[in-house]
Structure 1
Amino acid sequence: MIESTDREITGRHGNLVVREWAATNPGWIALIAHGYGEHSGRYQWVAEQLVGARAQVYAPDHLGHGRSDGERVRFTDAESIVADLETLRQQIAAEHPGLPIVLIGHSMGGMLAARYAQEHQEHLAAVVLSAPVLGTWHVLDLLEHDEIPDTPIDPETLSRDPEVGAAYLADPLVWHGPFKRPTLRAIDSCLLAINDGPALERPTLWVHGEDDELVPEADTRTGIDRIRGDEFHEHIYPGGRHELFNETNKDEVMSDVLTFIGRELNS
């Protein structure tokens, strides 16, 4: 196991905890944007595979998530979290000048990664979107209620591996409560901004599970079609649920991701 170290950065609305997994002789930087309600520590296995491919890996806990500042899972503007990613990118780029940066975003983090890529494409060598919230998202229907119902994420939607759901439920850094209205509004606004924004000019890989009930592939595709650039690749995995990096075929998924990254970095 590769132990991570922590650092803090000053975000737009508070201090953020960032995990770092160090490579002995890094050839590139991987920046991970985690999903709604979770935290960077859930990407330990992912980081280890990336380090094995000579990546220096960084993963912040977003505002209101994990060990970072802020009311739990509450933010009012997704652009501020995109700005936090840019603050971190500037810091690590100064520490590792010349190393190419690959942004990897999962779920809500995929939405943030897509928006970041629209606004800061010049800083990225490639983008990986894992089950990104793009296009439309049925969870936003909760905004129609006068009071947001307590409908936490069903752990069975995460993976066919039951241990993944059990670990998710037992994780004290994961939010297990209801969605919050300001956050849903911020996500809705971000999706609209992405739809109206430019296509992604950086090489992009989209991976998604065919049986993802939390973020259905068909809904995401409506957003993907709005931002698909000239060098865009996709893998849709039969039977896959939401967290492909925690799925029963995670080795296959990671192999596809690393093949894509390696090809783009060496092209």
Structure 2
Amino acid sequence: MHYKTDILTSKDGESFCYYKWLANSKVPFKGVVQIAHGLGEHAGRYDHMAHLLQDEGYEVYANDHRAHGKTAEMKRLFGFYNGNEYFEDCVEDMHTLSELMKFEHPKSKFILFGHSMGSLLSRKYVIKYGAELDALILSGTAGFIKGLGNIGLVTATAVTTVRGRARQNEFLKSFFFGEFNKKFKPNRTKLDWISSDEKQVDLFAEDPYRIEDFSLGVFLDIIKNSKKLNKPEAFNATPKDLPILMFSGDKDPVGEMGKGVKRVAKQYEKRGINDFTFNLYEGGRHEMLNETNAESVKQEVISWLNAHMQD
């Protein structure tokens, strides 16, 4: 089964593109999954995971965030963002899509799946709209990297003040992507940090929708929101009865090689999330869905999801 794409208009009048994978009609319908992709990628990269979910009886939706993928392609402005708060805009786009999902499946169960930046967007989403969800899945999420994060926050704030939010900046691009790759020297490619599966790394390197150059406002708002979302107040605002699955690789530099993501897990446990599962995969890098053990990871995600969708 293939996906289809369409366009929605968000609350501020901006248009965005979304993907839809229809559930397999030959198996019992279980629920609707919404996917939030990460920085520099696009929703189409989740096609294989979406097909697995289809065959399990799930309908899958995912939008390309602003400045990304087919959403950016509509205006031929890849990486460009001139709004006031990137995360706020992206979360409202996600909610616009979820409203469509609810209209099309009014009695369904709803699951939000976020990877990397998408996991941070999802963590922000549940603070505002968590009561509308039945489960949350977080892949490759991050704590606030104190040293690196504070340097990035000061730098991004200073440069943005001088140059404005819409301009690009080579230093911040290198700061975001280059620093992660340093953990895997000598480097074969500049994307070694995403996976130890060279085939998957090469596929992403050749992806025409892959983006590295973003407006300053995107980088600044990611760092600002990373700091906010890792404060106790954010964890306290997460619904305690929302089942959460979180997974990462212990060699993921975004998760500080396991240290940062463990801090996130401890916060969820400390704040009393009633149903919290955390899987840390040995040797895994940033994209566990594209790692050498990806198939087993995907099946573990589906098993967890099926168990939580039973009445």
Task: Give the TM-score, by structure 1 length.
Answer: 0.91
Amino acid at match of 1:110: S
Amino acid at match of 1:233: T
| Cross-structure match for 1:185 | 220
How many Å apart are 1:139 and its aligned residue? 6.0
Spell out, residue by residue over 1:102-129, the C-alpha distance to the aligned partner (whole angstroms, 9 max, x if none): 1000000000111111211111110000
Looking at structure 1, the residues matched to 277 and 86 of structure 2 have their Cα atoms a distance apart, in angstroms, of 29
In structure 2, the gaps of 5 or more residues are 160-168, 178-189
| Cross-structure match for 1:141 | 151
| Cross-structure match for 2:9 | 10
Looking at structure 2, the residues matched to 66 and 220 of structure 1 have their Cα atoms a distance apart, in angstroms, of 27
| Structure 1 position 219 matched with structure 2 position 255 | no
2:201 to 147, 160, 165: 165
Conserved 8 A contact 1:143-1:181: no
Match runs of 1:1-267 below 5 Å: 2-11=1-10, 12=12, 14-25=14-25, 26-69=29-72, 71-73=77-79, 74=81, 76-136=85-145, 138=148, 141-145=151-155, 146=159, 148-149=170-171, 150-151=173-174, 153=177, 154-177=190-213, 179-194=214-229, 195=231, 196-197=233-234, 198-201=237-240, 202-216=242-256, 217-228=258-269, 229-266=273-310
Aligned residues with identical type, % of pairs:
25
Amino acid at match of 1:78: F
In structure 1, the gaps of 5 or more residues are none
Looking at structure 2, the residues matched to 55 and 90 of structure 1 have their Cα atoms a distance apart, in angstroms, of 17
Conserved 8 A contact 1:135-1:222: no
Conserved 8 A contact 1:206-1:234: yes
How many Å apart are 1:171 and its aligned residue? 0.8
Spell out, residue by residue over 1:203-236, the C-alpha distance to the aligned partner (whole angstroms, 9 max, x if none): 0000000111244231233344334422111000
Spell out, residue by residue over 1:54-73, the C-alpha distance to the aligned partner (whole angstroms, 9 max, x if none): 11000100011001047433
Distance 1:139 1:160, change over 3 A: farther
Aligned residues, how many? 265
Amino acid at match of 2:123: A
Classify the secondary structure of the residue corresponding to 1:171: coil
Classify the secondary structure of the residue corresponding to 2:39: coil
Task: Give the TM-score, by structure 2 length.
Answer: 0.79
Structure (1 or 2) with the greater helix fraction: 2
